[in-house]
Amino acid sequence: MSASENKPDSSSGGSMSRRSFLRVSAGATALTGLAALAAGLAPLRELSRFTSVEKFLQKHYHELSPEQMKRVLERIAREVEQQYDLRPHVRDLKPMDGVEFVYALNLSRCIGCRRCVHACVAENNQSGDPDLEYIRVVKMPKGTFDLTKGDHNYEPEEVPEDGYFYMPVQCHQCANPPCVKVCPVEATWQEADGITVIDYDWCIGCRYCQAACPYFARRFNFRKPRIPKERLNPDMSYLGNRPRESGVMEKCHFCIQRTRAGRYPACLEVCPTGARKFGNILDPDSEINYILKEKRVFTFILKEDQGTLPRFFYYLDK
Amino acid sequence: MKEETKTAIVLAGVAISFAGLAVVFFTLSAIDERPAPRIVMVDSGFLDTSPVRMNYAAMVEAGEDIFDYDCYLCHSRREPVELQFDELGGLILEEHDYITFEHGPSRENNYCFNCHDRDQLDRLRTQYGTTLTFEESTQLCGSCHGTTLRDWKQDAHGRTGGYWNLAMGERTRLDCTECHDPHDTRFPTLEPAPGPHSMKNRIIVSPENNRDP
């Protein structure tokens, strides 16, 4: 508004003064701003249904006393029961002394039947909608090791197909994990038994770890995960398969709720060919120790040049 | 009407409409309880951890009909079995013609008495002359496939289940014949479980159209 236009208006006295204009517009702006703020905060109403003050004030995993952890597990059990009408058995299993987990997968045995993928989904309470899977199975032509020729979406009547081999890829539980280094809030770390875990209550969802992982092993919950009630696995672990919220990362944790209780991971148990092998590398009598000593392992460290030192090995029968 | 009043009315209108919008937004978010679409999960058959086939021992345990293994229902203990061959050396089968012989890379391990005992048809016989029952078939396989038996004993060959930590629980281990048909030893082909749906809309790079120009 120019001064020449303003002058005749103010002299006629019919129009508003500068002061009253500002007063009215300030009031209107404040009102509109409040309304916008209210609208902007609306998603918080939904959040309040699931987030308790308790969860909001919860300390980092490493700072929780056993007493506090007990209360946290109780809260999780309560929340799960509220949502799924099922009382879960939530634990926080600690690493065992003298145990370091290593996984080995026999590429000459894998037939690409994808049973491991779905056993993992069922065991670890992964979202069915949107669907989220920790394990990918890559089909590649025999005689190459060229991932650019890989195919995830094969759907033949029967597997294996002639001329192809199959390579399942999941979290390699690296001894030098790039994902842990990039986490700005220490929501993911490597445990004493070699499992890289995520605290879903601490994760801020920045997805740096997903970008850092050379194996594309980490998954992000873009939406709230949905699991059918009848498929919920009630045997849960804090760092493992308890239900996640939207906006957090998750990945394979070697079925921490099973392996720290002495059992094999779900993907291994369902594998019909016995291509998957798992155990304590520090035990000289374990099968995994035998395999790493006796089988052709070393040429198949995936992306060895990244220096990640995986605890997941591919091998061939001698 | 005065310009001042007009402006005030307009501004008030704008403010009220925004406030109204906020109210609508709140109400909608509060009543947004539409029934969510059904979650499609994989067929539970793909999650089954039982072995791919039932061997003799498993059939006995499950109380299945083991009529097929009762050799002397048809054979006589006094008359030894004579095998018949055609001019090319192929085995001529009259009764057991449902058996596919696909054992070994040349598929030529089709001579019945390489594994079955000629004199006791319900027994097995290793190449070293040891007689074994059908339940002990793993020993028989191992008498030729020694390195595989060694791996199996270490749990490095074959499917395991249960506990990796033997101090905490038991480990299950399968016999050879729970995965391999002794007459047709290649592991059977299986129907693959569904692929990753979240990747359905991606461009699939097939090996055919990914060749170097």
Q: Phi, psi at residue A178, to the nearest 5°?
A: -65, -30
Q: What is the spatial distance between Cα A196 and Cα A309, in angstroms, rounded to a whole number?
A: 13
A45 in contact with B, Cβ within 8 Å = yes
Cβ-Cβ contacts under 8 Å for B67 (sequence gap 6 or more): B73
Q: Do B190 and A38 touch (CB under 8 A)?
A: no
Candidate ranges A6-10, A173-177, B41-45; pick with highest mean pLDDT: A173-177
Q: What is the spatial distance between Cα B91 and Cα A206, in angstroms, rounded to a whole number?
A: 68
A261 in contact with B, Cβ within 8 Å = yes
> According to the model, what pLDDT value does residue B209 have?
41
Tell which CATH classification among 3.40.50.10900, 3.40.720.10, 3.30.70.20, 2.30.40.10 matches the domain A101-315: 3.30.70.20
ipTM of the predicted structure? 0.79
Interface mutation target, options B1, B2, B39, B48, chain A, most CBs of A under 10 Å: B39
Q: Do B42 and A118 touch (CB under 8 A)?
A: yes
> According to the model, what pLDDT value does residue A300 have?
65
DSSP-assigned letters across all residues of A27-65? HHHHHHHHHHHHHHHHHHHHHHTT--HHHHTPPPGGG--
The rounded percent of chain B whose pLDDT value lies above 70 is 88
Residue in chain A lying closest to B191 (CA): A158
Chain A residues with CB inside 8 Å of B12's CB?
28
Instruction: Name the pTM for this structure.
Output: 0.80
Three-state SS at A231: helix
Q: What is the spatial distance between Cα B2 and Cα A16, in angstroms, rounded to a whole number?
A: 9
Min Cα separation B77/chain A (Å)? 39
B52 in contact with A, Cβ within 8 Å = yes
Alpha helices in chain B, H assignment, sequence order: 3-31, 56-62, 137-144, 146-153
pLDDT tens, residue by residue, B77-135? 888 888 888 887 777 888 888 888 888 777 677 788 889 998 899 999 998 999 999 99
B157 in contact with A, Cβ within 8 Å = yes
β-strand partners of A250: A219
> According to the model, what pLDDT value does residue A88 have?
95
Q: What is the spatial distance between Cα B94 and Cα B86, in angstroms, rounded to a whole number?
A: 13
**At B25, which amino acid appears?**
F
Q: What is the spatial distance between Cα B185 and Cα A276, in angstroms, rounded to a whole number?
A: 20
Chain B residues with CB inside 8 Å of A15's CB?
2-4
pLDDT tens, residue by residue, A13-31? 556 788 888 888 888 888 8
Three-state SS at A168: strand
> According to the model, what pLDDT value does residue B33 have?
63
B212 in contact with A, Cβ within 8 Å = no
Residue in chain B lying closest to A219 (CA): B198
pLDDT tens, residue by residue, B159-181? 999 999 999 999 999 999 999 99
B198 in contact with A, Cβ within 8 Å = yes
The residue that leads in pLDDT, A146 or A45, is: A146
In chain A, where are the structural domains located?
101-315
| Minimum mean pLDDT range among A49-58, A141-150, A158-167 | A49-58
Chain B residues with CB inside 8 Å of A42's CB?
25-26, 29
Burial class (CB in 10 A: 0-12, 13-18, 19+), A271: buried
In chain B, where are the structural domains located?
47-178
Residue in chain B lying closest to A16 (CA): B4
